């Protein structure tokens, strides 16, 4: 099974982490991080959003495999962040959701996770984008 891209997977190195990946409303986890989640972390075809084994699906594409609007994705991110806040006993490795197959710029996706709780691990790239955005807003 090809995952199309090389996935950095903290969850593979430390199984106490839940692998958070971008999915689609068809819940066909056939490519990218979704395929990785299915192969290694218990993601299930037919379940587009939420906890699945040691993974969490967060939709970024429609049933027709079109990229969702940023507003739609923000709603899904909010649901995930609320879930993470309500489960402080769990640790989440948040991949760079939406920036691969969905084609969304990192600068659009990363800020959606600015309010993620401490039990969520973001990439260094996303942390940098979030910090730069916070610095710009405090200077304004």
CA 117 to the chain's CA centroid: 14
Instruction: Please write the tens of the pLDDT for every residue from 52-77.
Output: 999 999 999 999 999 999 999 999 99
Domains defined for the chain, CATH in brackets: 13-139 (3.40.220.10)
Instruction: Please write the tens of the pLDDT for every residue from 96-126.
Output: 999 988 999 999 999 999 999 999 999 999 9
Q: What percent of the chain has pLDDT over 90?
A: 76
CA distances from 125 to 21, 56, 59, 60, 117 (A): 16, 21, 21, 19, 17
With beta carbons less than 8 A apart as the criterion, state whether 22 and 60 touch.
yes
Q: What pLDDT sits at residue 1?
A: 31
- The answer for 29, left when phi > 0, alpha when psi is -120 to 50, beta otherwise, is beta
Instruction: Find tokens 């068809």 and name the residue.
Output: 26
Q: State the Cα–Cα distance between residues 39 and 109, nearest whole angstrom.
A: 25
Q: What pLDDT sits at residue 101?
A: 86
């Amino acid at each position: 099974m090809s995952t199309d891209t090389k996935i950095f997977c903290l969850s593979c190195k430390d199984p106490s982490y839940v692998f958070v990946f971008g999915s689609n409303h068809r819940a066909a986890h056939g490519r990218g991080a979704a395929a990785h989640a299915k192969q290694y972390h218990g993601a299930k075809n037919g379940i587009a959003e939420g906890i699945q084994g040691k993974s969490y699906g967060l939709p970024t594409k429609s049933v027709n495999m079109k990229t969702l609007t940023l507003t739609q994705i923000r709603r899904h991110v909010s649901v995930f962040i609320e879930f993470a806040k309500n489960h402080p006993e769990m640790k989440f490795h948040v991949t760079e959701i939406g920036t691969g197959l969905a084609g969304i710029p990192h600068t659009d996706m990363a800020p959606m996770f600015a309010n993620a709780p401490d039990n969520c691990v973001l990439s260094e790239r996303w942390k940098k984008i979030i910090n730069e955005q916070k610095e710009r807003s405090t200077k304004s």
